[in-house]
Structure 1
Amino acid sequence: MNTAQIIELLPFLIPLVVVELSLAIIALVHVLRHPNYKFGNKIMWVVIVLIVQFIGPVIYFTLGRGDE
C-alpha cells in the first residue's frame, strides 16, 4: 500500500480510530470503577477490553456489565 492509497483512506480511518479508542476508554473506565459483573472478574474484563480491540468493549457492554 503506497502513501497515496493511505491518504485516500484517511477520511474513513480517522473516525474509525476515534470511535474505537473512545469505546475502549469508556469501557475501561467502567470496568475499573464498577465491581459488579455478570460473570468474570475485573482482570479478565480489562484484558478483553484492551486486547480485543473494537469488539472487546462491545462484548463488555453487552455481556459483562453487571447491575449498577
Structure 2
Amino acid sequence: MSISWNVILPVILIELILMAIALVDLAKTEKTNGPKLMWVTIIVLGNLLGTIAYFIFGRRNS
C-alpha cells in the first residue's frame, strides 16, 4: 500500500511555504509573545502545527 506523490507533494510544499512565511514574519517582527529562539524552535520542529501556533499565539498585537 503506497500513497501517491501527487497527494503528498502539495502538502509538503504548502507546509514549507507556510514555515518560510512564519520565519520571515518572525524575523521582521520587533516584539513577540516569548523569545524568538523559542518560536524558531516551535516553527521548525512543530511543522504545520508549530507554524499555526506561531500565527495564533506568537504574534503580539501592536
When the two structures are superposed, what TM-score results if normalisation uses the length of structure 1?
Answer: 0.81
For residue 44 of structure 1, what is the amino acid of its counterpart? M
2:51 aligned with 1:57: yes
Aligned residue among 11, 21, 35 for 1:41: 35
Identity percentage over the alignment? 34
2:10 aligned with 1:15: yes
CA RMSD of aligned residues (A): 1.4
| Distance (Å, rounded) in 1 between the aligned partners of 2:5 and 2:40 | 29
| Distance (Å, rounded) in 1 between the aligned partners of 2:30 and 2:51 | 16
Q: Mark the runs of 5 or more structure 2 residues left unpaired by the alignment.
A: none
The 3-state SS of whatever aligns with 2:61 is: coil
Q: Mark the runs of 5 or more structure 1 residues left unpaired by the alignment.
A: none
Aligned residue among 31, 45, 57 for 2:26: 31
Aligned residues: 62
For residue 20 of structure 1, what is the amino acid of its counterpart? E
